Structure 1
Amino acid sequence: IFVLLIFLFRTLAGVFLPILLVIFSIIMTLGVAAYLGWSLNMLNIVLPLLLMVISLADSIHIMVSFYNYRQLDYTPKEAAKKTIKTLFIPCFYTTITTFVGFIALAASKLVPVIQFGIEAAIGVMIAFVLSITVLPAILVHIKGFSRLGEVNTRIINLLPKFANKHSMKITLIALTLIPVAAYFARQINIDTSFERNFKQNSDIRKSIRFYENNFGGALGLEMVLDSGKAGGAKEPQFLLKTLALQEWLESQDCCSRTLSLNDYLFEINAKLNEQQSQYYTVPNSRELVSQYLLLYSNGGPEEDLTDMISNDESKIRLSVTFKSRPAKQTSIWINKIKTELATNYQDLNATLTGRTIMFNNMDKYIQNGLISSFSLAFLLIILSFFILFKSVKYGMLAMFTSMLPVLIVGGIMGAFDIYLDFATMMVAAVTIGIAVDDSIHFLWHYVNTRRSGSSRNEAIEFAVKKAGRAIIFTSIILASGFLMLMFSAFIPTIFFGILGAIVVVFALLGDLLFLPAFMYLNSNRQKHLGHQNLKTHKLN
């Protein structure tokens, strides 16, 4: 980021001012999070880096515009006023769309995801306020200014010509990507396997494998078995039925061992009968069970079975050592257990819980969270487009070029078997808010130029030249920031970074190639129709 800012602005002010504002934004955001009592977790640990790259966008747009006006011989004060007047509305709406993308994550049922979304949304708003107020105020007092590179300008000037010349090919490529990406996106699998979150050589994954190989499983499945009456858990018939369930569970591939009140009673019964093997069984009377439990509880303050039997002795706990496997396989095993309980063990009134159930239910939360957060973000963003441009056509056009990168990422996830988890589920909602930002800047300049009387082609060229430089550099910085997450040891974070960078790259192509190409194609088509109508009129 530091190198890119040097390349873009070539002044100390141009390099350090945006970075200082971002640092203040991060500090204030973390301060708000601390005030709310939220601690760092596996998701929001990446928040400072993410805020750094996202928050730089407004600062870069403002500084590029400011230096452009300075090159046109505006005084610092005039350049600052002109910049704020020109960019306040587009910067405000880009902040709103990014804010919406993050705040939409609050629709999830996963607390870390909700906290991440709220913290990021707060950080984005803080960065906007500082960029639009503090940054111009400081720039006014800086006498020197950066002359933006001519090489960069020449490259940007070539983009509209390229898009115009190849408008049909570019449009066909964009339209072809839609069905291809949609086909592969349908193949995305959801998986919250804890082991899969870490690299093959990580200590955590090695520990999980060691535990699996030596202790039979790294997860726990808990059952609460209800006899239906006070003291019913001490009935030999109820305990024998529990024993039958334990034996069935231990015969399954998913389970290695079980533990219940029976195991304690077996040990007591055998010890009181000289460890004879025939006494490793359930006591044959309720009175004997009561005596054994009383004997065990009188053994000392540490000898307590309250975690194995309820106070009214109506329920007992059955713990199962469960193997860590992908979510799909775990779901099959859990459904098999539920079917067996409903078929042969109805009188035990079993309730399933534990980490295995929690991780398995997380898949449903992820799927529902993806749908709800993305839908909310989509609706709010498209509404903001209509309010900003007062045009359904421009709103739909901007949403198309912004949605395409998200759809492409979905296709990549399906094609390369990248699982949807609590981190990658955030990509769609977060990146659509980021992807539309540059579309807003492009269309803002285009629409205003058209309304001032310029032709379509002139407006497109002006929009690319006016916003192109800032769009390219903000996209490079965003992509670089996302790619920094590749150095994480947490695989969901790595994929979040890679997929986020891919969205940014395709959003850049969408804003500076796909969007102008669509407009040129439409303009050329209308010109062709106009010529045809003119010929028909002359013939008549």
Structure 2
Amino acid sequence: MFTLKSRIIEFSIRRYRWIAVAITLFTLSTGAFIPWITMDTDPENMLEQSAPVRTFHNESKTRFALSETIVIGVVNEGHPDGVFSPETLSRVFELTKFATSLRWENPDKPGLYSGVIEADMIAPSVAEHMAQNGPGSIRFEWLMPRPPTTREQALAIRDKALSNPLLKGQMISEDGKALCLYLPLTDKLLSYKIYEALQGKIAELGGEERYHIAGLPVAECAIGVEMFTQMTVAAPLTMAVIFGLLYFFFRKPALIFLPMIVATVAVVSALGLMIAFGHPVHILSSMLPIFLMPIAICDSVHVLSDFFETYTPAKGRGQTIREVMGRLFTPILYTSLTTAAGFLSFVTTSIPPARVFGVFVALGVMVAWAATVLLIPAYVMFIPERVLANFGQAARAREKVSRLTRILHATGRFAHNQAKLVLAAMVALIGVAIWGMTQINVNDNYAKRFSTSHPIRQADTALNSHFAGTYTAYMVLEGKEAGSPTEHDVARIRAHLLEVAAGFENDPAAPRIARDIADSLPAWANQSETMAGFLDLAVRQIENRRTKIPEAKSAVLDELKTALELEKERLKPFKRPDVLEYMAGLQAHLHGAGLIGKSTSLADIVRKVHQELIDGTPQNHRVPETIQGVAECCMQYQQSHRPHDLWHFVTPDFMQANIMLQFPRGDSTLTEQTVRAANAYIATHQPPADLLVRWAGLHYVNLHFQETMFWEMLASFGGSFVIVFVMMVILFRSVLWGSLCMLPLTLTIGAIYGVTGLVGKDYDMPVAVLSAISLGIAVDFAIHFLERARQLQRETGSWGAALPHVFGEPALAITRNVLIVALGFLPLMVAQLVPYKTTAVLLFGILAFSGVMTLVGLPAVLTVCQRWLFGTTRAR
């Protein structure tokens, strides 16, 4: 009676033309969606749109009118005056003017322009210099209204810029060798278009200075461009190398196209279906072909290798492929299911691109399985018997293959004879791996996704060596609205009003008027739900009393009203001098800890304005002592050409403030350390007002994503590990054999991540995702090895007798798989994106190590534990 397995195999052999037509149509129909591909390089989309950190980030951008920014660095280390020569500043002036023109009208909304936001640009020609204009007044003027014509004029611009702590370290380097232009964007998706336009203009400028363009928006869009390059260049190169290795082993072009066809069917259909369902290609899903190809090729190489070893003209292609598929159908099915389970575990994460990636790679894995069990037998039936003349190991004993066979037999004998030594080495390896994993550093840095020779990586290095940092995060401080007035509040205000009235010595009615108002305060407090409402009611009541007393006596009411309004101002935390001093202390603490390069806040603006209002000397670079003084500084700053700049750091109601932090490196670990340091400072230094501290900025969003990715990928891997273990128990009908099958996987994961920690490689997205493919490939080899080992042990009667046979065709197939796929993916090392290089190195390591563990570790365990694993078996 035919089993389902036999029916599928017979159907693919007898209806091979139907199979070929159906798979071709399926591949073409799904691949037809690929031209509609869209790219998504926005790191925010690694989180759900409703994620609190993402929601608050966008709210903060709106609240403080913040924009994503492109940074243009100009560096001249050869000139004695650095970038402050008339020639360099003239070119900078021209480049700034060109940047202001990078705006395009929206065709769908006439009158609405997108591009560079000129009003928020920072550059020498649009930055302001503030200086004292006599006691109590400030003069605002453009720092460089026109290009200088003499060296003295250029150096004067440098000195003015360096005198402003708001510009030093941000627009101008402290050594004067570099300056930066900051171009805020209406839409960060325009960044690469602007990047290319700027590169074209820079090429026209000439000069000895060097120009660098950096900024997270540029890096994000550049990754999208590089992703297209890798998909169109590196992937075909990888397939070409794999094809060459297949030809080296099997020397029959008609057959070695098979794995490439299976891989193409899987990749094209999975990618096409993902696009058809409306999903953009993220940096994670752009690696779908890279992850899917080795999985698709592994199964087909097993089939091809077995076919190569067992084909004879006497049996013919039909009977040979029946035998091969009969032996491999179950192992291939289970390896595909375990791999699909590993990728489907991503569905449990809260990372949208990871869910999409997991679903469609799992879908591609099952398409690869279907193509393997249906298309390979069908394809073989298309090949005439004459084409297979001199094909197979029986007909062609090549020297290289026999040498490989001898090496494998020697490996088997070593694993058998030195089994206890191998087991001891495996135990030692586990110990080293555990220690190495404790050294893993969870970190991400967008600039480090580019190779060191890439212009964006070079720009990042150059600018962050001269400036305080091109990476920004925002510490948002929110004052809490005061609740109902307490008895203490009422008593304090009452005493203050009576004190004010006591100052009217020549008006005997003043104390009586003040006492009448003061006595009414408790009643007004009971009518108010908030402190602000209480003070507003008191002011209105004073205004009502104005009509009841002679005008000559109303002066005391004016003073009482002023006192209450001052109390209202005290409710606005970021007009209070003590709060601004606290902010300055927090900033100094973070800077002193070496965590940030620079910070800018309302406190910095107020201190600079106060300095110039007094006498311009350094000792007056401080926060005024009164609320009125702070208000005066803010009002003076708003007399400048750029009054809106104030609202980047405080809201108009002075209830929320923004501290902009600049980081000299893009590492998410640096942001994490800064957040911890800020929290520790706040915990040990009680703020003078009730403040809520929250964080925003892409740099902080990236940190939150890293933390989410680490724990959720770990949880999904743990869940899929359990699922795969259960499947192995079902496959082998034994908990012991199921556990043994998981051994190479466990050792491979431990070794790869142990080495990752020991060499200092950051645990980032590619490393996290590779755990899923580790699961699939390591279990793949173990399933094939153990399934054939059990079968041959039953046939021969003992493990010792079966060993030479196991290290024949089964070991050859595994070894060929390891060499073909591992070496085949090394060409990804030529990619400009580091995640592709990481994938190449780790795939090589995973395949090589899991192959060694399968061919050395498993036979050693089988040798030591054969009594428990095999029991007593007679040869058939």
- What residue identity is the alignment partner of 1:418? K
Q: State which of 571, 581, 584 in structure 2 corresponds to 1:246.
A: 584
Q: Tell me the secondary structure at the aligned position of residue 365 of structure 2.
A: helix
Distance in 2 (alpha carbons) for counterparts of 1:109 and 1:202: 32
Deviates more, 1:69-78 or 1:217-226: 69-78
> Which deviations, in whole Å up to 9, do the C-alpha atoms of 1:285-334 show, x marking residues without a partner?
5798499679959989x948665444765322222223327555554443
| 2:426 is the counterpart of 1:177 | yes
CA, structure 1 residues 285+410, in 2 after alignment: closer, same or farther (shift >3 Å)? closer
| 2:300 is the counterpart of 1:59 | yes
- What residue identity is the alignment partner of 1:163? G
2:788 corresponds to: 445
Contact 1:98 1:124 in 2 (8 A): yes
User: 1:121, CA displacement in angstroms?
Assistant: 2.1
Distance in 2 (alpha carbons) for counterparts of 1:17 and 1:492: 29
1:340 corresponds to: 681
2:441 corresponds to: 190
2:718 corresponds to: 375
User: 1:176, CA displacement in angstroms?
Assistant: 1.8
User: 1:6, CA displacement in angstroms?
Assistant: 0.9
- What residue identity is the alignment partner of 1:257? K
- What residue identity is the alignment partner of 2:579? K
Unpaired segments ≥5 residues, structure 2 = 1-241, 482-531, 533-568
Distance in 2 (alpha carbons) for counterparts of 1:70 and 1:9: 12
Distance in 2 (alpha carbons) for counterparts of 1:157 and 1:373: 41
Q: Matches of residues 297-336 of structure 1 in structure 2 within 5 Å?
A: 303=644, 307-310=648-651, 313-324=654-665, 330-336=671-677
User: 1:390, CA displacement in angstroms?
Assistant: 0.5
Distance in 1 (alpha carbons) for counterparts of 2:450 and 2:571: 42
Unpaired segments ≥5 residues, structure 1 = 531-540
| 2:764 is the counterpart of 1:421 | yes
CA, structure 1 residues 526+361, in 2 after alignment: closer, same or farther (shift >3 Å)? closer
> Which deviations, in whole Å up to 9, do the C-alpha atoms of 1:144-173 show, x marking residues without a partner?
323235242564366346523552425413
Normalising by structure 2, report the TM-score: 0.54
User: 1:371, CA displacement in angstroms?
Assistant: 2.8
Q: State which of 358, 362, 383 in structure 1 corresponds to 2:701.
A: 358
> Which deviations, in whole Å up to 9, do the C-alpha atoms of 1:482-520 show, x marking residues without a partner?
423322334444333223212211222222233223323
User: 1:2, CA displacement in angstroms?
Assistant: 1.4
2:392 corresponds to: 147
CA, structure 1 residues 425+154, in 2 after alignment: closer, same or farther (shift >3 Å)? same
Contact 2:668 2:699 in 1 (8 A): no
1:535 corresponds to: none
User: 1:270, CA displacement in angstroms?
Assistant: 8.6
Q: State which of 482, 498, 520 in structure 1 corresponds to 2:841.
A: 498
User: 1:97, CA displacement in angstroms?
Assistant: 1.8
Q: Tell me the secondary structure at the aligned position of residue 765 of structure 2.
A: coil
Contact 1:159 1:464 in 2 (8 A): yes
CA, structure 1 residues 469+289, in 2 after alignment: closer, same or farther (shift >3 Å)? same
Distance in 2 (alpha carbons) for counterparts of 1:163 and 1:463: 8
Answer 1 or 2: which has greater helix percent.
Answer: 1
Q: Tell me the secondary structure at the aligned position of residue 599 of structure 2.
A: strand
Contact 1:189 1:414 in 2 (8 A): yes
User: 1:140, CA displacement in angstroms?
Assistant: 1.0
- What residue identity is the alignment partner of 1:216? A
Contact 1:189 1:417 in 2 (8 A): yes
1:203 corresponds to: 455
> How large is the Cα RMSD of the aligned pairs?
3.8
Q: Tell me the secondary structure at the aligned position of residue 54 of structure 1.
A: helix
| 2:271 is the counterpart of 1:30 | yes
Q: State which of 123, 138, 156 in structure 1 corresponds to 2:405.
A: 156
- What residue identity is the alignment partner of 1:417? G
Distance in 1 (alpha carbons) for counterparts of 2:807 and 2:438: 37
User: Which structure would you say has the larger Rg?
Assistant: 2
Normalising by structure 1, report the TM-score: 0.84
CA, structure 1 residues 395+325, in 2 after alignment: closer, same or farther (shift >3 Å)? same
- What residue identity is the alignment partner of 2:248? F
User: 1:361, CA displacement in angstroms?
Assistant: 3.8
| 2:465 is the counterpart of 1:213 | yes
Q: Tell me the secondary structure at the aligned position of residue 665 of structure 2.
A: coil
Q: State which of 707, 725, 737 in structure 2 corresponds to 1:394.
A: 737
User: 1:90, CA displacement in angstroms?
Assistant: 0.9
Q: Tell me the secondary structure at the aligned position of residue 15 of structure 1.
A: helix
2:377 corresponds to: 136
CA, structure 1 residues 352+165, in 2 after alignment: closer, same or farther (shift >3 Å)? closer
> Which deviations, in whole Å up to 9, do the C-alpha atoms of 1:447-469 show, x marking residues without a partner?
23445574333444433323222
Distance in 2 (alpha carbons) for counterparts of 1:391 and 1:235: 68
User: 1:440, CA displacement in angstroms?
Assistant: 0.8
Distance in 2 (alpha carbons) for counterparts of 1:91 and 1:260: 62
Distance in 2 (alpha carbons) for counterparts of 1:394 and 1:518: 11
- What residue identity is the alignment partner of 1:189? I
CA, structure 1 residues 343+61, in 2 after alignment: closer, same or farther (shift >3 Å)? same
User: 1:47, CA displacement in angstroms?
Assistant: 2.8
- What residue identity is the alignment partner of 2:584? Q
Q: State which of 258, 266, 280 in structure 2 corresponds to 1:17.
A: 258
Distance in 2 (alpha carbons) for counterparts of 1:190 and 1:372: 18
Q: Tell me the secondary structure at the aligned position of residue 320 of structure 1.
A: strand
Q: Tell me the secondary structure at the aligned position of residue 254 of structure 1.
A: coil
Q: Tell me the secondary structure at the aligned position of residue 255 of structure 1.
A: coil
Contact 1:236 1:283 in 2 (8 A): no
Distance in 2 (alpha carbons) for counterparts of 1:350 and 1:416: 36
User: 1:261, CA displacement in angstroms?
Assistant: 4.1
Distance in 1 (alpha carbons) for counterparts of 2:609 and 2:749: 62
Give % identity.
21
CA, structure 1 residues 407+42, in 2 after alignment: closer, same or farther (shift >3 Å)? same
Distance in 2 (alpha carbons) for counterparts of 1:61 and 1:180: 29
Distance in 2 (alpha carbons) for counterparts of 1:150 and 1:100: 40
Contact 1:182 1:411 in 2 (8 A): no
CA, structure 1 residues 234+520, in 2 after alignment: closer, same or farther (shift >3 Å)? closer
Distance in 2 (alpha carbons) for counterparts of 1:240 and 1:526: 75
> Which deviations, in whole Å up to 9, do the C-alpha atoms of 1:213-246 show, x marking residues without a partner?
3330122231221221288774565365134413
CA, structure 1 residues 351+437, in 2 after alignment: closer, same or farther (shift >3 Å)? same
User: 1:372, CA displacement in angstroms?
Assistant: 1.3
User: 1:61, CA displacement in angstroms?
Assistant: 1.9
- What residue identity is the alignment partner of 2:770? V
> Which deviations, in whole Å up to 9, do the C-alpha atoms of 1:353-412 show, x marking residues without a partner?
334433444553354245313312321221111111111222122211332222222332
User: 1:197, CA displacement in angstroms?
Assistant: 4.3
Distance in 2 (alpha carbons) for counterparts of 1:316 and 1:203: 36
User: 1:258, CA displacement in angstroms?
Assistant: 2.9
CA, structure 1 residues 305+33, in 2 after alignment: closer, same or farther (shift >3 Å)? farther
| 2:324 is the counterpart of 1:116 | no
Deviates more, 1:201-210 or 1:306-315: 306-315
Distance in 1 (alpha carbons) for counterparts of 2:319 and 2:869: 40
Distance in 1 (alpha carbons) for counterparts of 2:632 and 2:360: 54
Q: Tell me the secondary structure at the aligned position of residue 661 of structure 2.
A: strand
Q: Matches of residues 503-514 of structure 1 in structure 2 within 5 Å?
A: 503-514=846-857
Deviates more, 1:189-198 or 1:393-402: 189-198
Distance in 2 (alpha carbons) for counterparts of 1:109 and 1:378: 19
Q: Tell me the secondary structure at the aligned position of residue 147 of structure 1.
A: coil
Q: State which of 319, 327, 344 in structure 2 corresponds to 1:86.
A: 327
1:536 corresponds to: none
Distance in 2 (alpha carbons) for counterparts of 1:118 and 1:340: 44
CA, structure 1 residues 265+285, in 2 after alignment: closer, same or farther (shift >3 Å)? same
Contact 2:473 2:698 in 1 (8 A): yes
2:106 corresponds to: none
